[in-house]
Structure 1
Amino acid sequence: MFGIFETKRQRRNRIRSQPFPDHWGEILSREVPLYQRLSKEDRQELQGLIQIFLAEKHFEGCGGLTLTDAIRVTIAAQACVLLLHRETDLYPRLITILVYPSAYVARAREPIGGGLVLEGEVARLGEAWKDGVVVLAWDDVRSGALDIHDGHNVVLHEFAHQLDQENGPADGAPILEHRSRYISWARVLGDEYEQLRKDAASGRLSVLDQYGATNPAEFFAVATECYFEKSEELRRTHPELFEELKAYYRFDPTQMTTLD
């Protein structure tokens, strides 16, 4: 038995030191092609992060969904890709992941100006709540994991929101390593956000999904999806944005191996 004075670091080291289950590795190979593109060292790091994530976060099936290891591991792997190479506390504000079998209906409130608010029900694929909950639709999670080049990945998107919310409400500015970096971050992401708004308004296509023009928080989440899934195109068309995200994530997706 382990003493009551075991620290978080000691507990996590103990969890990480345990053998990675073979069937979890099979799930990663089958459901998360991104995993196979990582270096051996990065795969080992990711496995440790997955072990800690699954030990600390609570999963709950909704809408009749029966949770399986495939669901948990597939979600954990994609969430933890955002943590590779970084000193983080593994989403400290996150408590629960709610998983629906497919798109679910949620209540929504949207300001429409003049002090008026539009209320209604909308279909959603995912949400990141500020009180420690992420909601995901499993069929979209799975399809997003299997297609690593379409720029759409609901797990990367919602967990980017989680990173954004670690220092308060989501505003498109996560915790950066040095205070001086906020100046560059605000300039580059602010300019790119405004450009995407103009592109969306005029119907011009961009490698960045137009949903990122909604607000700065959505821009950061969309840019994260694009960074990991359309990295070469993002580097070519938005080099400053690419470099800001590279400095933040400390991981360069353009250096991953190519799948046969």
Structure 2
Amino acid sequence: MWSFFRNRRRRKLLAVALPPLQLEILKRNVPAFNRLSEEKQQRMLDCVRIMIAEQHWEGCERLVVSAEMKTTIAGHAALMLLCSGDYYFDSVSSILVYPSVMVRNHDGVIEHTVGEAWDNGGVILSWPEVLQAANHRDGDNVVIHEFAHHLDGLDGEMGGSISFDTSRDQSEWEHVARTEFQQHVQAVEAGRRTLIDPYGATNEAEFFAVASECFFERPAPLHDRHQALFTLLKSYYRVDPRDWH
């Protein structure tokens, strides 16, 4: 019954076009939108409208969450949902936006972070870092990183073990992800340059998150240098970002 009301509400949302100002924001702050096929552009627009309307958005430290912030964050997150059916990050409980880098004090140890994903479904983002992803093609994208953690946690644990449609892909992922992670850790410890962000050596969950960033931001190099990993991420996300790069 609840899904009936949800779907009816969404049909009403999707019947109204994204306002022209927000469409321009999407084109400017999510450059990939301009290179998508017409079908995928429509899917992104659907995701953006539903996420803006349904998510609980909250500004922190007196920040007022603007239409630009919502549109930009939803647009980058929508890249991960271009072929995901009717899922619109329904399990995300809230999106908190900070005006700068977040500072945490853990037992006297000061930590700086640009984003977090919580077990309860919350996603926390630094707005300047979101804009950084919009304006620089350096392989870093905090929105994709944190929403990848959310997808990773849909099975109840953020541990880098994601779910595939087939048992063959599932088994292959367990082998490839473990091997790639171990090799990544060895490369980072040896001081070698890596295509995938060195932060991925922290643990398997962070490795999946930074690998997802690289998949969407630098797909061709990832395919050339980590083909097995690329192929599985392509199967998981059901898209090939090389099509729009």
Q: What TM-score, normalized to structure 1?
A: 0.89
For the Cα contact (< 8 Å) 1:16–1:49, is it kept in 2? no
Q: Does 1:140 align with 2:129?
A: yes
Structure having the higher Rg: 1
**Distance between the aligned counterparts of 2:2 and 2:177, measured in 1?**
45
User: Bigger CA drift: 180-189 or 9-18?
Assistant: 9-18
User: Bigger CA drift: 225-234 or 82-91?
Assistant: 82-91
**Distance between the aligned counterparts of 2:189 and 2:150, measured in 1?**
28
* Percent of residue pairs bearing the same amino acid type: 38
**1:35 counterpart residue number:** 33
**1:80 counterpart residue number:** 78
1:63 is paired with a residue whose SS is coil
**2:64 counterpart residue number:** 66
Give 1:197-236 correspondences, 5 Å limit: 197-236=185-224
**1:246 counterpart residue number:** 234
**2:115 counterpart residue number:** 126
CA positional deviation for 1:179: 3.4
Give me the CA root mean square deviation: 1.7
1:7 is paired with a residue whose SS is helix
Residues 173 and 5 of structure 1, relative CA distance in 2, 3 Å threshold: closer
2:81 is paired with a residue whose SS is coil
Structure 2 gaps of 5+ residues are: none
CA positional deviation for 1:41: 1.4
Q: How many residue pairs align between the two structures?
A: 245
For the Cα contact (< 8 Å) 1:209–1:222, is it kept in 2? yes
**Distance between the aligned counterparts of 1:212 and 1:204, measured in 2?**
14
How far does the alpha carbon of each residue in 1:34-56 deviate from its partner, in whole angstroms, 9 at most, with x for none?
21121121111100011111111
CA positional deviation for 1:134: 0.7
Q: What TM-score, normalized to structure 2?
A: 0.95
- Which of 7, 10, 14 is the aligned partner of 1:9? 7
Structure 1 gaps of 5+ residues are: 109-117
**Distance between the aligned counterparts of 2:42 and 2:91, measured in 1?**
25
